[in-house]
Every structure is written in structure tokens, then in C-alpha cells.
């Protein structure tokens, strides 16, 4: 499966039968020859992605996929990659031609429905055969989706197609809610505790820290960034009382001891869990750590690939902390990127997802969907760490307090 872990922009998948003009369509939309075009069916063998700008939305990623009617042993493998792509997208274009709509398209629409993917239908090659009104009405009644007649060869309706995409793509895919804005007021000071250790990128901040700084500035507030060793001295010397403190989960205990109890404290990972994760299911699933038994298997999901250090947070520290907390003999599997699992989901007693800073909300939700559908508890790195270190209620309180009308897990 192709790795989407480095693209947090909205993803738009282009699907359809072989030789329906999917590659031509992506070339027209990007105004580049990014996808190979041929009259021979089956030219696209693996998903191909390209970034572009849609006015009014911003950067998106278009994904060209193999034909849904591919055949043979290799064709089945290509179709599997095409169907796997559905789990990673926010929106889909279903390309048809010649007023032809059959079982392949119906199966694809069902797969869209399974993952709650909105879509539109593009009747391509209208220069050869235009969309019949009766056919358009029949499809519209069945599927309640917008259908547009289009020609990638003579793209006179390109602006109309872009407008249709803009009006149908979910705003949640491109309108990003604030990370911390609903906790802050003008001029508030936020303390960001950022340890510099072996896992910190040389000369840089990790992405969640950068995102938090930008979000604080966007909300007309003040970000104070310091290492965990400097917190006590800073608070003592300045007398500043921050509105909120956000810490790296690895130094939760140190932060909990240093930050006065009247100051709300959370972590970058929990901030992301509320921002783009399955926060409600995390709240339900985290306490299940206390119910783990000897021999239970735990799945840790990293949504990007990175250099593994000798004291890696996901592969070393979290397993050690959970095993020490439960006193049980547990088995841990780690899957990096968005690769397929090596074991059936039902073999796991708990799934722990990383913050997901490098992927989209839709990709993260669909990554957890098999576990949620099977009632397997899910949590995230920061929430699991806070739980086993005894500071769970304090760490989630900043977010559950503003959602108390709908969440009752405290």
C-alpha cells in the first residue's frame, strides 16, 4: 500500500474502470502530465499521487488509481491497492464513460459508503458520447450525488468541475479547527515544555510543537517554549501564571510535579488526539489498560516512519510503562506508516495510536475503524502514558471540561 504518512492535506481519489480517462482527468486537474496516458487499458498499475491547489480550499493531493475492472492475478493485486486507497482519502471522483454504470461502480460506491467517503460522478469523454438526461436522472436518484458531464480532451468545463469538487468535499477535510483556541483568550500565555533528547530532530522542533506554536500565535496569544529542566526556575523567577501548559508526554511526571495544580496541563499528543483523533473512543478505551491480562497482544500504530532510537517512545517506553503498570506479561506489535496489519485485528486486546501529526483526520479515523467496529479498545500515546503514570484525569481535563455536555467519562 502506498504511504500517505507525509501528506496531511485533503486527499482526493480518482476511481473508475480501465481506460475511462482517469489519468487524463488528473493531468487536466493538475495541468501537468503527472499520470501516464494511453489508449491501452490498464496503464495505471499503482496509485499515483500529485499535489495541487484548489482555489478556495488550498493544497490537496490527487490520487490516480488502477481500474476497478482489472483482471488476472496481477490485476487483483492492483485492485487491492486501489481499494486500500479508499481508507486514506477524504473525497472521491468516480469516473464513468458512455453512460455505463454497472456492478463495478455499485461495488465501489458501497466501499465509499463503508468508509463514509463522499463522492461525485464524472461522466468523462463527453466529446465521444454525451451524458443522457435519463441516465443522469436515474443515477442521481439512486445515489443522490452530483454528476457532471466532462471531457478531459476538451476541458471546457474545468472550472465547473473544480466548483463541484469544492462544493461537495467536506469542509472538515480542509478547514482545520484550532488546536487550542477554545481554551484561550486574547493575550493568554501558554507554556510549551519540549525536552531535547535523542529523538528530537537535529536543529529542529517536532511537528506537534511547531503546530502548537503557530496555533497559539494565530489565536493572538503568547507561547513560551522551554525544556523541562527550566520550568521550575522560569515560574519562580518570573511569577508568570500560564493559562495552560502543554508538555511532551515523555516528561509528564516532571511536568505534573512542576506545574501548579491550578494551571491546566495536557500533552502535545493529547492535544492532537482531540484535534484529529477518535477522542471519544480514546476516552472510552484508555481505562481498559487496567483490564489487560497475561498474554494479551497490544498493537501500537505509528502513522509515519522514523529512525528508531534505543529508547524509542512507541517501541520501548510505552511497552515498558504499560507492562510495569499492569504487572502482566503482554505482547506488543508495532506497525509504522499506513501499512496493512500482519495479524487479524481481533487478535488484539488494545490498540494505541500515535498522535497522527503527519496524516489526515480521515486517514487516522479509518486506520482505527477495524478496531472500533470490533469493539476493541483504542487509545493514543499521550493518553496511555498519562493513564499509567497516574495523571490521566488532569491531562484530559482541559478538553473534557469544554465538552462536558457530551462527554461523561471523568
To the question of pTM greater than 0.85 for the whole model, the response is no
Strand partners, 192: 225, 246
Cβ pair 98, 123 in contact under 8 A: no
* Among the listed residues 249, 192, 181, the one whose alpha carbon sits nearest the alpha carbon of residue 215: 181
- Tell me phi and psi for residue 8, to 5 degrees: -95, 5
pLDDT category at 361 given cuts 50, 70, 90 is confident
Distance CA 391, CA 396 (A): 9
> What residue ranges do the domains of the chain occupy?
11-173, 181-270, 282-400
The 10 Å CB-count burial string (b at 16+, else e) for 206-242 is bbbbebbbebbeebebebbeeebeebeebbeeeeeeb
pLDDT category at 245 given cuts 50, 70, 90 is very high
Contacting residues for 195 by C-beta, under 8 A, at least 6 apart: 227, 228, 248, 250, 251
Residue 208 pLDDT > 80, yes or no? yes
Domain 11-173 has CATH 2.60.40.1180: no
3-class DSSP assignment, residue 234: helix
pLDDT at position 370 is: 93
3-class DSSP assignment, residue 133: helix
Domain 181-270 has CATH 3.40.50.720: no
pLDDT at position 305 is: 56
pLDDT at position 319 is: 96
Cβ pair 225, 171 in contact under 8 A: no
What does the mean pLDDT of the chain come to?
Answer: 86
Q: Which residue is listed with cell 518570573?
A: 238
Question: Which of 25-29, 243-247, 383-387, 395-399 has the weakest average pLDDT?
Answer: 25-29
> Do 11-173 and 282-400 have matching folds?
yes
pLDDT at position 35 is: 47
User: Does an H or E element contain 237, and which?
Assistant: helix 231-238
* Among the listed residues 301, 307, 199, the one whose alpha carbon sits nearest the alpha carbon of residue 251: 199
Averaged pLDDT, 11-19: 93
The single-letter DSSP state of residue 86 is: G
The single-letter DSSP state of residue 217 is: H
Ramachandran bin of 323, using left for φ above 0, alpha for ψ from -120 to 50, beta for the remaining angles: alpha
Cell, residue 212: 502548537
Cell, residue 298: 497490544
Distance CA 345, CA 335 (A): 12
Cβ pair 51, 9 in contact under 8 A: yes
Cβ pair 121, 94 in contact under 8 A: yes
Tell me the CATH architecture of domain 282-400. Answer: 3-Layer(aba) Sandwich (3.40)
Beta strand segments in 28-81, E: 48-54, 58-64
Amino acid at each position: 500500500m502506498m504511504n500517505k504518512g507525509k501528506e496531511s492535506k485533503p486527499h482526493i481519489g480518482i476511481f473508475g474502470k480501465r481506460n475511462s480517462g482517469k489519468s487524463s482527468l488528473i493531468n487536466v486537474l493538475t495541468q501537468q502530465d503527472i499520470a501516464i496516458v494511453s489508449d491501452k487499458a490498464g496503464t495505471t498499475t499503482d496509485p499515483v499521487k500529485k499535489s495541487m491547489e484548489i482555489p478556495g480550499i488550498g493544497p490537496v493531493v490527487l490520487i490516480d488509481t488502477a481500474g476497478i475492472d482489472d483482471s488476472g492475478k496481477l490485476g487483483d493485486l492492483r485492485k487491492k491497492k486501489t481499494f486500500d486507497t479508499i481508507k486514506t482519502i477524504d473525497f472521491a471522483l468516480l469516473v464513468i464513460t458512455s453512460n455505463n454504470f454497472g456492478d463495478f461502480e455499485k461495488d465501489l460506491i458501497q466501499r465509499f459508503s463503508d468508509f463514509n467517503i463522499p463522492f461525485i460522478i464524472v461522466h468523462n469523454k463527453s466529446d465521444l458520447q454525451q451524458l443522457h438526461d435519463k441516465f443522469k436522472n436515474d443515477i442521481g436518484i439512486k445515489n443522490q450525488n452530483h454528476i457532471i458531464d466532462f471531457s478531459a480532451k476538451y476541458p471546457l468545463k474545468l472550472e465547473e468541475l473544480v466548483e463541484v469538487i469544492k462544493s461537495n468535499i467536506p469542509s472538515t477535510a480542509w478547514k482545520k479547527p484550532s488546536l487550542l483556541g477554545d481554551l484561550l483568550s486574547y493575550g493568554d500565555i501558554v507554556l510549551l515544555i519540549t525536552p531535547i533528547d535523542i529523538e528530537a530532530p537535529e536543529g529542529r522542533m517536532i511537528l506537534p510543537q511547531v503546530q502548537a506554536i503557530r496555533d497559539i500565535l494565530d489565536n493572538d496569544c503568547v507561547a513560551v517554549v522551554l525544556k523541562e529542566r527550566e520550568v521550575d526556575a522560569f515560574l519562580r523567577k518570573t511569577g508568570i501564571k500560564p493559562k495552560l501548559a502543554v508538555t511532551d508526554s515523555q516528561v509528564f511526571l516532571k511536568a505534573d510535579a512542576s506545574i501548579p495544580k491550578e494551571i491546566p496541563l495536557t500533552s502535545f499528543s493529547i492535544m492532537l488526539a482531540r484535534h484529529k483523533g477518535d477522542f471519544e473512543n480514546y476516552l472510552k478505551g484508555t481505562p481498559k489498560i487496567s483490564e489487560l491480562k497475561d498474554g494479551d497482544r497490544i498493537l501500537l500504530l505509528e502513522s509515519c516512519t522514523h529512525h528508531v532510537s534505543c529508547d524509542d517512545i512507541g517501541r520501548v517506553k510505552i511497552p515498558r510503562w504499560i507492562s510495569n503498570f499492569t504487572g502482566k506479561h503482554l505482547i506488543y506489535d508495532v506497525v509504522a506508516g499506513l501499512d496493512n496489519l500482519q495479524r487479524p485485528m481481533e487478535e488484539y486486546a488494545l490498540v494505541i495510536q500515535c498522535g497522527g501529526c503527519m496524516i489526515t483526520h480521515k486517514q487516522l479515523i479509518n486506520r482505527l475503524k477495524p478496531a472500533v467496529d470490533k469493539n476493541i479498545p483504542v487509545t493514543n500515546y499521550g493518553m496511555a502514558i498519562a493513564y499509567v503514570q497516574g495523571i490521566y484525569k488532569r491531562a484530559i481535563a482541559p478538553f473534557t471540561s469544554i465538552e462536558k455536555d457530551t462527554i461523561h467519562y471523568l
